[in-house]
Amino acid sequence: MGNIVAIVGRPNVGKSTLFNRLTQTRHAIVSDEAGTTRDRQYGKSEWGGREFSVIDTGGWVVNSDDIFEEEIRKQVSLATEEADVILFLVDVRNGVTDLDEAVANILRRTKKPVILVANKADTNDLLYSAAEFYSLGLGDPYCISAATGSGTGDLLDLIVSKFPKAADDEADEDIPRFAVVGRPNVGKSSLINSFIGEERNIVTDIAGTTRDSIYTRYTKFGFDFYLVDTAGIRRKNKVKEDLEFYSVMRSIRAIENSDVCILMLDAERGIEAQDLNIFQVIQRNNKSIVVVVNKWDLVEGKTTAVMNEYEYAIRNRMAPFDDFPIIFASALTKQRIFKVLETAKEVYLNRKKRVSTARLNEEMLPLIEAYPPPSLKGKYIKIKYCMQLPDTQIPSFVFYANLPQYVKEPYRRFLENKIRERWDFSGTPINIFIRQK
């Protein structure tokens, strides 16, 4: 399944620039102040036919001098636990610093593959200075310039060669896989226990006691699916680490291994930045989603109006994608727990839904005729035919047009909304392609 590559190193060695280079985005906020990267720490990359996730650990440093080293240590040890390959970034121009040595100390103990990357080697003279990094005891330094991209192709070859050999997935392909995700202490394990009806996960009140993805086959009440659960017990000394980083890292693997994500929110706390982070990871992986507002039994005055207000707030924060089911439940009192499973199953079926070409054209062409794409530079855009593509991961529709390059995003969204109005694709992302006819 998806491999994870983590970029570690002290501040200002160019982690965000390398992250942008590997994921081909300009997502990370790059500035020269230490600790400015935030919020854009996860992306997808593909090289030589292998897709993998890249995590920039720099986004989680709490900026204050006394905990600075401590924070970096925490991040590095977390990255070594969670990632498949670790890129340790150092700066050729600065040479070896104490912090680099501190990071190297942790990395020398790990069994995971570590690649020592000497960044900012923009000129040939700098390539020679890279030799001093041999002192870190992590093998050959690999010279690149993240800013100009030189050396990154070879680096990618090396990264992909270090991935563990693809093991066959434990789970059968045709059986849906549901992952329960959310930030710590939102009640994920309690929800899973109320599904399964046995205390298979030890549920405690310590945030972050859950570890390692486990598939649980669930075959009760006419259901048959795998629960992808990040379960297990965490070593005591790890409880203090940065939970936000921790839970997003944990969720990534569960999300990538699932078809439908059950995203749990806490009714008392509403939507927080971290919930949105996890939501974005779900979207970036094209997974289907069911939102469960847990602990609904604790909310005062649970009128329909309060519910609607809540629902509106959630869809609003997660826009533009807002076509997903929201269920108000309580894992503790088991209120609407089965509704969650039924909905996840429906959403999974929506993900597999096929619309016949005849029906699609019959419904969509008159609409397109009535509301054609706006003309550009006096050219009229005609769409004469559409179909759903076979064998795609999510429902994907192609519309054939004479000038596909002139069809802009808003019109694509219009087409998507019209498809959603006519067929139930609730909870599932849809692709709309415009191609030359």
Mean pLDDT along residues 327-332: 82
Q: Which of 397, 357, 349, 403 is nearest to 377 (CA)?
A: 403
Question: In sequence order, what are the beta bridge partners of 216?
Answer: 227
With pLDDT > 70 as the criterion, what percentage of the chain qualifies?
77
Tokens of 353: 């839904």
Helices of type H across 225-336: 243-256, 273-284, 304-318
- Cα-trace Rg, the chain: 24
Higher pLDDT, 6 or 251: 6
Residues 42, 55: contact at Cβ < 8 Å? yes
| 108 conformational bin, left if phi > 0, alpha if psi -120 to 50, beta if neither | alpha
pLDDT at residue 281 is higher than 90: no
| Range scoring the smallest mean pLDDT among 208-217, 313-322, 363-372 | 208-217
Of the pLDDT bands very low, low, confident and very high (cuts 50, 70, 90), residue 198 is low
Which pLDDT value is given to residue 95? 80
The pLDDT confidence band at residue 397, using thresholds 50, 70 and 90, is very high
pLDDT at 269: 81
Q: Which residue from 89, 85, 228 is spatially nearest to 145, judged by alpha carbons? A: 89
Interacting residues of 414 by C-beta distance below 8 A, sequence separation 6+? 371
Average pLDDT over residues 75-96: 81
In b/e form, how buried is each residue of 342-366, taking b as 16+ CB within 10 angstroms? bbbbbbbebbeeebeeeebbebbee
CA–CA distance, 372 with 405 (Å, rounded to integer) = 15
pLDDT at 166 over 70: no
Asked if omega into 320 is within 30° of 0 (cis), the reply is yes
Place of tokens 């997502």: 27
Decide: residue 273, CB within 10 A, 0-12 exposed, 13-18 middle, 19+ buried. exposed
Cβ(265)–Cβ(292) below 8 Å:
yes
What does the pLDDT look like over 114-158, one tens digit per residue? 888 888 877 666 666 777 888 888 888 888 888 887 888 888 888
Stretch 320-344: mean pLDDT, rounded? Answer: 84
More confident residue, 364 or 102: 364
The sign of the torsion formed by the CA atoms of 405, 390, 279, 238 equals negative
pLDDT, averaged across the chain: 77
For residue 289, the model assigns a pLDDT of 92
Spatial contact of 119 and 89, defined as CB atoms under 8 Å apart: yes
pLDDT reading at 422 higher than 80: yes
Predicted local confidence at residue 396, as pLDDT: 92
48: left (phi over 0), alpha (psi -120 to 50) or beta: left
Looking at the DSSP bridge assignments, the partners of residue 181 are 263
Q: Which position has the token pair 């009192």?
A: 333
Contacts of 216 (CB under 8 A, 6+ apart): 192, 196, 200, 226, 227, 229
pLDDT tens-digit readout, 401-413: 888 888 888 888 8
- Looking only at the bridges linking them, the beta strands covering 3-8 and 50-56 are parallel
Residue 390: pLDDT above 70?
Answer: yes
Per-residue pLDDT band at 199 (split at 50, 70, 90):
very low
The residue among 30 and 385 whose pLDDT is bigger is 385
Lowest mean pLDDT: which of 43-52, 222-231, 328-337, 382-391?
A: 222-231
Q: How confident is the model at residue 204 (pLDDT cuts 50, 70, 90)?
A: very low
pLDDT score recorded for residue 214: 58
Instruction: Indicate if the pLDDT at residue 18 is higher than 80.
Output: yes
> Among 5-14, 52-61, 162-171, 328-337, where is mean pLDDT lowest?
162-171
Q: What's the pLDDT band for 176 if we cut at 50, 70, 90?
A: confident
Q: 86 vs 28, which has greater pLDDT?
A: 86
Q: Give the pLDDT score at 30.
A: 44
Residue 425 pLDDT exceeds 50: yes
Instruction: Check residue 405 and report its DSSP letter.
Output: G
